[in-house]
Amino acid sequence: MSNKRQRTTTSVESLCINDLPDGILVGISSYLAKPSAALLAIAMMADSQQQTETSKAIISSTINCSVLDFGDIEKSLSVKLSDDDIDKILRSIDAVNNLRILKLAGCVNITGRGLDVLRSSNEIQQIDLSLVGKHESPLIEPEPLLSEDVVIPILDSIISRGRESSLKQLELPMMWRNESSVSHQFFGRYNDYLTNQRYCCSKCEQVIGSNDWVCLDGDDWHGTQEYTCSQCLKHFCYDEDCEDESSLVNWCNKCEKGYCKNCNAGYKCSGCYRSFCNECKTMKACEAPGDCTRRFCGDCSEEKLCSWCDQCSFCVRTAGVCKHDGCQKTICSQCDVVINTGGYCMECGL
């Protein structure tokens, strides 16, 4: 019996993942995010540069090769990815012929060398190199390793094919969005590319004739793309007839992305006049009876909305600050009299 137990234990310990049937591995990979599934397929290739039957089965069964979003995996994994990892992933899914959307959220330790395979792509429609996830601030500290000297030539190769290229939207790291020589000159070339594509407004179907697709005036939005929803990739002009609830592109001052209202119905704060998408800021509306449509972001609502009645200072007209030391919440004179708050806000007066 002891020999039998010993032989059984030895046999189990010698098993490895390669001994599992392809069907089981395909089933496991179906529960993984697409970048993770691609990494599993690559791992099954071991040291070989050629795809095995197992890796082919994983890729063909579980990966939609048109979209690759690294924001779908844990940041603790994406931060470990190297340029070699990115290169292997893109090659494993035949990115040149299949990939349409690439988002490199969290991949802060790549230089961009792994993107070289995309030079000859005519299929890629969106490249998000901001390196942050959905509704995250584009400010990254410490600065990521992504190199202009490496990436700009790759992007130039894509847009140099003019109307043969399918690129519709490009997002670059915040650290590049300045007037440095490399990036600033590329912004001009990318602006000319978008102008020459003659993209049409998705609402009025007219060619967007503007030649300022990219902000080039050196302000905070320098290097960002106009007229394009970063989610659905549709283009919209700013003509008066198209500025309605379904088509106007909203710019979010936190995540610094533009959305059409079908994708994200953001609002402009009536206090600081900054715009935010719904996922970045919860806007609080004035509760005054009547036609007041003002909304305020969290930073402004304490100053502009009465903490008792939630009416804005524009409607109640007279308002003061809570008497409690250090509290900046607003208390309107109407509530001070009617509710007898003693000049204290709802939180401090309870």
β partners of residue 57:
none
- Answer yes or no: is 152 within a domain: no
**3-class secondary structure, 321:** strand
Q: Between these two residues, 8 and 157, which has the higher pLDDT value?
A: 157
Determine, yes or no, domain membership for 324: yes
The count of domains in the chain is 1
Q: Is residue 322 part of a domain?
A: yes
Buried b (16+ CB within 10 A) or exposed e, 59-98: beebbebeebbbbbbeeeebeebebebbbbbbbbbebbeb
pLDDT at 4: 44
* Alpha-carbon span 250 to 227, nearest angstrom: 10
192 pLDDT band, cuts 50/70/90, is very high
Q: 86, 93, 40, 39: which is closest to 66 by C-alpha?
A: 93
What pLDDT shows up at residue 196? Answer: 95
Structure-token pair, residue 2: 């002891």
314 part of a folded domain? yes
Tokens of 76: 């603790």
CA atoms within 13 A on the CB side of 325: 0
DSSP string, 216-246: -SSSTTTTPBPSB-TTT--B----GGG-STT
* Within-domain flag for 238: no
Q: Which helix (H) or strand (E) holds 330?
A: strand 330-332
Q: Tens of pLDDT along 33-73?
A: 889 888 888 888 766 667 777 887 887 777 778 999 999 99
**Residue 338 located in a structural domain:** yes
Q: Which token pair is 21?
A: 């049937």
In DSSP terms, which residues pair with 331 in a beta bridge?
320
| Residue 1: per-residue pLDDT | 44
Indicate whether 245 belongs to any domain: no
Answer yes or no: is pLDDT of 105 > 90. Answer: yes
Q: Give CA–CA dist 226/341, Å, rounded.
A: 48
Cis peptide before 142 (omega within 30 of 0): yes
Residue 49 located in a structural domain: no
> Could you tell me the residue range of the domain that residue 319 belongs to?
303-349
Average pLDDT over residues 261-265: 83
* Count of other CB atoms within 10 angstroms of residue 248: 16
Q: How confident is the model at residue 9 (pLDDT cuts 50, 70, 90)?
A: very low
What's the pLDDT at 181? Answer: 63
244 band by pLDDT with thresholds 50, 70 and 90: low
CA–CA separation, 350 and 344 (whole Å): 9
